[in-house]
Structure 1
């Protein structure tokens, strides 16, 4: 089994950096996807910043109950 971890730490954006991105994304005719690509960030991050700037909390996934799947192990022994 191979465990792949993220090789770099998350970038902390300054309020000025966020404002620059949000200002550009808010211009008439601007597309969030293109603005995000220009800054090398995810479009979902731009949308999150918009919600936070508007005073709305970031959306979070609803908690789900853990799912268990039965595991059958065959040891290859054909004796009954």
Structure 2
């Protein structure tokens, strides 16, 4: 029985790729693990940078660190305390200035946004037309006729 999608053996392989490197399970010798973990405790680089340089995931390095910590605690050997630099803060200086007499600020009245005041406002079938003062009579008549024609 053959299927329409089953062409394994009837078609020519155009491209074949072999993936190597990260992605396969690796077995790390204990001395290499210890040196990588020790390097991660040096404090000169972030753990992610150390992991990236050795081609492992940061989570793998954290796991190795946790396993080493548990093993050393079980043996009664204290882990070296990393001498992380103390966080640096900029000192805040607050000066008490003599407060001048504060005068209340009068709130400005907000102007309504919109068109200038109109002389005539027409609304026909939901369409509003505002006609300003001094508009030409012919223009007003043309607008009204156009509105009537759309009804």
TM-score over 0.5 (shorter chain): yes
Structure 1 stretches of at least 4 aligned residues deviating more than 3 Å after TM superposition: 6-9
**Where does structure 2 lack aligned partners over 5 or more consecutive residues?**
1-18, 72-151
User: Which residue of the partner structure matches residue 66 of structure 2?
Assistant: 51
Partner of 2:70, secondary structure, is coil
Which protein has the bigger helix share? 1
CA deviation map 1:10-69 (0-9, x unaligned): 00111011011101100023200000010000000000001111117xxxxxxxxxxxxx
**Where does structure 1 lack aligned partners over 5 or more consecutive residues?**
1-5, 57-80
**Aligned pair partner of 1:10 in 20, 25, 34:** 25
The count of corresponding residues between Structure 1 and Structure 2 is: 51
User: Which residue of the partner structure matches residue 51 of structure 2?
Assistant: 36
User: Which protein is bigger by CA-based radius of gyration?
Assistant: 2
Partner of 2:28, secondary structure, is coil
Partner of 1:55, secondary structure, is helix
Which protein has the bigger strand share? 2
